[in-house]
């Protein structure tokens, strides 16, 4: 497939898991992909090497979100890797995962979650948007927890903020008049190799909760992102694609 030949893309949090699958898919479609990582350079280099081995183009760029100068560091590396070429696709995938309930949340935990999951993508968009090429794509990764109530309240709040941000930015003159779409993909549980998803009972229970009777795979999410990044999605903006496999839609009959 070659729907993104001549395009450039930045995927944050692309050293492993869903981000790695997104970077690989966009590269397979022909894009030059900047593989962002927070601290695990070795994993990002592995992602780049795998993309290159498959005939794609990619380079790694590091920035620790939630720290001073994070966006500046990312943009410096991005500019160097793109060599002056403009950006077409931004995928805000990097995020801290949830797991703490209301009773055990602390102010530091709250601030860190919002710094990485909300503040970083917001200001990355702010800095990149003026120089993004017309017809570009901004794709933010949210989560099914904005629809499905779980104890991970702070994490869910950050993802709710991301979805609100996407909808509002899609309706701004800064994007609309230039043909730049802004959309969100909301994954459900995805088997990224986490030990929890090596437990048969967890996998079976998760599969039963989905309409499609299986666990999600990173490639499932990458496919949704690739569609939104393509020209086929040119008339879609301000939307959230629920990529949970139909999790908890209702009773099964």
pLDDT, tens only, 117-155: 999 999 999 999 999 999 999 999 999 999 999 888 999
Is the pLDDT at 101 greater than 90, yes or no? no
Could you tell me if residue 235 is inside a domain? yes
Could you tell me if residue 50 is inside a domain? yes
For residue 132, what pLDDT is reported? 97
d(CA 245, CA 136): 27
For residue 136, what pLDDT is reported? 98
d(CA 201, CA 215): 12
Q: What percentage of the chain exceeds 90 in pLDDT?
A: 91
Q: How many domains, the chain? A: 1
For residue 1, what pLDDT is reported? 58
Q: What's the whole-number mean pLDDT along residues 65-93?
A: 97
Pairing between strand 57-62 and 32-37?
parallel
Q: What domain range includes position 22?
A: 8-243
Element (H or E) spanning 127, and its range? helix 120-128
Give the model's confidence band at 115: pLDDT under 50 very low, under 70 low, under 90 confident, else very high: very high
Q: Where are the beta strands (DSSP E) in 149-209?
A: 181-187
State the CATH number of the domain containing residue 181. 3.40.50.720
Closest to 138 measured CA to CA, from 89, 85, 177, 174: 89
CA 37 remoteness from chain centre: 12
Give the model's confidence band at 72: pLDDT under 50 very low, under 70 low, under 90 confident, else very high: very high
d(CA 82, CA 87): 8
Could you tell me if residue 3 is inside a domain? no
For residue 164, what pLDDT is reported? 98
Is the pLDDT at 86 greater than 70, yes or no? yes
Element (H or E) spanning 23, and its range? helix 17-28
Structure tokens at 221: 């999410």
Active site residue 109: no
Could you tell me if residue 2 is inside a domain? no
Could you tell me if residue 248 is inside a domain? no
Is the pLDDT at 253 greater than 80, yes or no? no
Opening angle at CA 174, ends 168 and 180, nearest 5: 85
Is the pLDDT at 252 greater than 80, yes or no? no
d(CA 122, CA 120): 5
């Amino acid at each position: 497939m070659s729907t993104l030949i001549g395009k450039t893309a930045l995927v944050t949090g692309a050293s492993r898991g869903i981000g790695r699958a997104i970077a690989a898919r966009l590269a397979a479609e022909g894009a030059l992909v900047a593989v962002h990582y927070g601290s695990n350079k070795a994993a990002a280099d592995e992602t780049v090497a795998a993309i290159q081995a498959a005939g794609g183009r990619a380079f790694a760029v590091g920035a620790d979100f939630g720290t001073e100068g994070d966006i500046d560091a990312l943009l410096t590396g991005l500019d160097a890797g793109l060599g002056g070429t403009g950006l077409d696709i931004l995928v805000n995938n990097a995020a801290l995962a949830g797991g703490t309930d209301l009773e055990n949340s602390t102010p530091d935990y709250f601030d860190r979650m919002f710094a990485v999951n909300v503040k970083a993508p917001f200001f990355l968009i702010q800095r990149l948007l003026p120089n993004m090429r017309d017809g570009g794509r901004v794709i933010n990764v949210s989560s099914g927890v904005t629809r499905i109530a779980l104890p991970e309240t702070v994490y869910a709040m950050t993802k709710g903020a991301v979805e609100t941000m996407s909808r509002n930015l899609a309706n701004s003159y800064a994007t609309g008049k230039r043909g730049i779409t802004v959309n969100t993909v909301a994954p459900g549980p995805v088997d990224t190799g986490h030990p929890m998803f090596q437990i048969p009972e967890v996998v079976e229970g998760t599969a039963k909760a989905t309409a499609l009777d299986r666990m999600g795979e990173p490639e499932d999410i990458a496919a949704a992102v690739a569609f939104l990044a393509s020209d086929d999605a040119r008339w879609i903006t301000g939307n959230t694609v629920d990529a949970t496999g139909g999790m908890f839609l209702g009773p099964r009959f």
